[in-house]
């Protein structure tokens, strides 16, 4: 009986260790060991896995893989702060000898060392969603984030009557996406709306809980704030949560970026004035398409603009917008 109890305890301990190990891998991904040699292999490495946005990008990538007869793996980190983990994912993918790499860089400079290795081996590199600060990239499939953020700034001005104090929650300041969505919004406000003052910019790592805490901190320190901007899905949801917790929904206008289910519901319910939606299917599809064409030696556009649209309560259920949402 004692022996059985001891075996049971050891078994439970092993299960706990395995569970703990799996919880601390720092990312979610396809299994690289499932790669077969019967089709060209393209590695797709994103900035995340947890948001609906990335799941929809993945669908687009898989559609292109089917159309072009290639095999892909889609990997992403748990949070948008795991820069080292993304580099590890890229190095692991390179060990499987891909014919091309698609990368949405968390830090456009930190990832360069591994990308240089790929380039030296003649492996084409395509950026998607977030570009890379280097000429070695064959193409980048992305939203024009500066222009999209400028549109969000115009809509914020509309929402608050062209004057007042506002705050910004941005996912990070290391990726080109984060910087462009910050700068595009900030520059438009500063150049076009002299009666609007940005009182603070905080970074929430794309996590809705951290973003909510950051938004609450801005509002608490600046009681005259009349608007809050969230620069990605997690940031925007964080703003909505913060306003709800503080009893400020409707009193402080929220403008966001992206279009996951929680955001769409917030727009429909009047918790959010509106948001800019990207075209995540196109981002994923065009990235893999460009990677395949580069691998085949075909000419590809250096900058592939995948488009964006503004949506609010008036058009969220229109056919034009519905096809860009990712519920």
**What's the mean pLDDT in 135-144?**
96
Instruction: Note whether 9-143+281-307 and 145-277 share their fold.
Output: yes
Q: Considering only CA atoms, which of 206, 137, 140, 151 is closest in space to residue 174? A: 206
In this structure, what token pair is assigned to residue 82? 């795991």
Helix, strand, or coil here: 194?
Answer: coil
**Residue 79 confidence class, pLDDT cut points 50, 70, 90:** confident
pLDDT for 34 equals 67
In CATH terms, the fold of domain 145-277 is Rossmann fold (3.40.50)
Distances (CA, A) of 130 to 109, 205, 286: 12, 15, 13
DSSP string spanning 130-166? B--SSTT-SEEEE--HHHHHHHHHHHHHHHTTT-EEE
Rounded to two decimals, what is the model's pTM? 0.79
26-76: per-residue pLDDT in tens?
445 566 766 767 899 999 999 988 778 899 999 999 999 999 999 999 999
Query: Using an 8 Å Cβ cutoff, are 277 and 308 in contact?
Result: yes
Choice between 325 and 15, residue whose per-residue pLDDT is larger:
325
Helix, strand, or coil here: 77?
Answer: strand
250-278: per-residue pLDDT in tens?
999 999 999 989 999 999 999 999 999 99
pLDDT for 142 equals 95
187-221: per-residue pLDDT in tens?
999 999 999 999 999 999 999 999 999 999 999 99
pLDDT for 14 equals 37
Could you say which DSSP state residue 246 is in? T
**Residue 18 confidence class, pLDDT cut points 50, 70, 90:** very low
Return the domain boundaries, the chain: 9-143+281-307, 145-277
Above pLDDT 90, what percent of the chain? 79
pLDDT at 10 over 90: no
For the chain, what is the mean pLDDT? 90
Choice between 110 and 196, residue whose per-residue pLDDT is larger:
196
pLDDT for 109 equals 87
pLDDT at 248 over 60: yes
Distance CA 85, CA 92 (A): 11
**What's the mean pLDDT in 74-88?**
92
Cα angle 210-211-217, degrees, rounded to a multiple of 5: 90
Radius of gyration of the chain (CA): 21
Cα 227 from chain centroid (whole Å): 23
CATH superfamily of 9-143+281-307: Response regulator (3.40.50.2300)
């Amino acid at each position: 009986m004692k022996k059985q109890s001891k075996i049971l305890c050891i078994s439970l301990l092993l299960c706990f260790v395995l569970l703990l190990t799996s919880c601390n891998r720092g990312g979610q991904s396809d299994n690289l060991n499932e790669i077969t040699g019967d089709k060209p292999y393209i590695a797709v490495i994103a900035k995340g896995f947890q948001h609906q946005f990335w799941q929809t990008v993945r669908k687009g990538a898989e559609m292109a893989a089917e159309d072009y007869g290639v095999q892909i793996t889609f990997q992403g980190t748990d949070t948008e702060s795991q820069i080292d983990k993304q580099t590890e994912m890229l190095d692991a993918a390179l060990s499987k000898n891909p014919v091309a790499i698609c990368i949405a860089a968390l830090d456009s400079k930190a990832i360069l060392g591994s990308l240089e290795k790929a380039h030296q081996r003649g492996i084409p590199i395509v950026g998607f969603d977030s570009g890379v600060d280097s000429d070695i990239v064959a193409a980048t499939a992305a939203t024009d984030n500066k222009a999209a953020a400028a549109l969000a700034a115009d809509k914020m001005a509309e929402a608050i009557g062209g004057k007042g104090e506002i705050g910004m929650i941005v996912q990070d300041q290391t990726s080109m996406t984060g910087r462009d969505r910050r700068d595009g919004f900030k520059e438009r406000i500063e150049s076009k709306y002299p009666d609007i003052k940005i009182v603070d910019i905080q970074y929430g790592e794309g996590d809705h809980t951290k973003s909510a805490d950051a938004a609450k901190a801005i509002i608490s320190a600046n009681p005259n704030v009349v608007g809050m901007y969230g620069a990605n899905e997690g940031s925007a949801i964080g703003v909505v949560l913060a306003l709800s917790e503080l009893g400020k929904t409707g009193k402080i206008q929220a403008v966001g970026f992206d279009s996951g289910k929680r955001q769409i519901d917030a727009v429909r319910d009047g918790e959010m004035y509106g948001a800019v939606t990207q075209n995540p299917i196109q981002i994923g599809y065009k990235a893999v398409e460009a990677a395949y064409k580069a691998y085949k030696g075909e000419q590809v556009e250096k900058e592939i603009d995948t488009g964006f649209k503004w949506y609010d309560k008036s058009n969220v259920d229109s056919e034009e917008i519905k096809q860009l949402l990712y519920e």
